[in-house]
Structure 1
Amino acid sequence: MPGYKSSIAFGVIGLGRFGYALAKTLSDNGKEVLVLDNNESKVKQIQDKVQQAFVIDQLDKPTLEEAGIQNCGTVIVCIGEHIEASILTTLNVIELGVPRVIAKAISAEHGRVLQKIGAEVVYPERERAIRLANSLTTPRVLDYIDLSNQYSISEIRLTEKLHGKTIFELNFRKKFGLNIIAIVRGNETIIEITPDLQLTTNDWVAVVGTKDSIIKFERYLTS
């Protein structure tokens, strides 16, 4: 295994469904990606889609270093199902000096250990469940991204209730407690939100604000 010796944006360790989708999406978005996995067939499936892909038998520090994982700006450890391997691999990557290490966790306890050793933690299953619950309870919400325990970004489809109204007429920020960051109208995305901009039925409006404000706005549209 020759290893990748120059700097590279992202490293992905583990090619389960989450790791594969992550690596491919990063690469599709124009980012350089180094992928490591112990399954040769999985590596073959992705090797023509990413910058570098290596089969590694061990996840110890010397093997990771030989592969060049220390040259990545961000490494995502995607082997959450095997908790011991996840923790040890994450620790090895951190000790190799990678600036940013993100690790997939499958439980709160697993996540706490990963945080204690210095990793950022993601919970893919929990986040998918939260998005599904939000889509089921707020049917006009296309997407829902948590920024913190209090604030979120949502993309909401408007109703005829706001058709023809301008941002100024609505006094949008004061009335709803939300900031519009973009409007999707057909194939057009509007990012310059001027006071005289008129809203139309079925615009998708990306807003940022508190979760309570988003819920109240969605209820206002359907009341």
Structure 2
Amino acid sequence: MAAKPSGNKSVLVIGLGRFGGSVAATLDQMGQDVLAVDKNPELVARWSAHLPTIQADMTDVLAIEQIDASQFDTAVVAIGDSIEASVIITGNLLDAGVSDLWAKSVSQEHARILQRIGARHIINAETDAGKRVGHLVAGNYLDYIEIDGPYTVVKIHTPLYAVGRSIEDVQVHGKYGVTVVGLKAPGKEFQYGSKELVMHRNDELILMGKQDQIDHFIQG
């Protein structure tokens, strides 16, 4: 039985193709505890120098039990070459008690099947890049868009330390190098960022900046 990783959010990524590998690598770079699984020994060997990996066929319930999948906070089913395997693995994980489950779909029909069996998050393989999904799975962002160069645009909830404070008071740009593009409070219209704007709990902030700067702002 595999022990649950300790530390931050623990994420089980199943499938080490281009998409799954990108998700796993992004999560690992963000400091999340990742275990990547694939039945292909070549893919496992390729990634083993970079990530904790296990070779296993997760369509087998015994493999789910041996890895102790239910002990992970989140699971990502990143298989796209076999709809049957994707559906079986998703069902196995749900049966094992994994509640926060992300599953990649390759068609509308595939997505409908995944939804019907209880997958919480459906990933569109054509539009959702692996790096973006990795950031969303980690739970720091409500949305994430990578733009040209080192800059990204993200949507987050107001960090606890900034609740009730203005953008000027927190020194969002001066201290962290981050630009507040705007703010959307529940039930209210979108407001463009200004130094007098006060951030409240559950407000959604649209930020632009470099990845490390945004993470620094979130942490305070």
Q: Do both share a fold (TM > 0.5)?
A: yes
Q: 8 Å contact 1:111–1:121 — kept in the other structure? A: yes
Alignment of 1:131-146 (within 5 A): none
1:106 pairs with 2:106: yes
Amino acid at match of 2:55: V
Aligned counterpart, 1:64: 64
Q: Which runs of 5 or more residues in structure 2 are unaligned?
A: 133-144, 157-166, 181-192, 198-205, 209-220
Measured after TM superposition, the shift of residue 70 of structure 1 is 2.0
SS class of match (1:98): coil
Alignment of 1:54-203 (within 5 A): 54-57=54-57, 59-119=59-119, 120-127=121-128, 188-190=177-179, 193-195=194-196
Measured after TM superposition, the shift of residue 56 of structure 1 is 1.1
SS class of match (1:11): strand
Query: CA 1:70–1:92 in 2, change beyond 3 Å: closer, same or farther?
Result: same
Aligned counterpart, 1:47: 48
CA RMSD in angstroms comes to 3.5
SS class of match (1:25): helix
Overall identity of the aligned pairs, in %: 30
Q: 8 Å contact 1:24–1:46 — kept in the other structure? A: no
In structure 1, distance between residues paired with 2:111 and 2:195:
43
Aligned counterpart, 1:22: 23
SS class of match (1:104): strand
Query: CA 1:58–1:73 in 2, change beyond 3 Å: closer, same or farther?
Result: closer
Q: 8 Å contact 1:80–1:103 — kept in the other structure? A: no
Query: CA 1:110–1:145 in 2, change beyond 3 Å: closer, same or farther?
Result: farther
In structure 2, distance between residues paired with 1:72 and 1:58:
15
SS class of match (2:54): strand
Q: 8 Å contact 1:10–1:72 — kept in the other structure? A: yes
Q: Which runs of 5 or more residues in structure 1 are unaligned?
A: 148-166, 168-181, 197-204, 208-223
In structure 2, distance between residues paired with 1:46 and 1:126:
24
Amino acid at match of 1:80: G
In structure 1, distance between residues paired with 2:92 and 2:126:
25
**TM-score normalised to the size of structure 2?**
0.59
Which structure has the bigger radius of gyration? 1
Measured after TM superposition, the shift of residue 118 of structure 1 is 0.7
In structure 2, distance between residues paired with 1:30 and 1:75:
16
Q: 8 Å contact 1:18–1:78 — kept in the other structure? A: yes
Measured after TM superposition, the shift of residue 28 of structure 1 is 0.6
Q: 8 Å contact 1:11–1:76 — kept in the other structure? A: yes
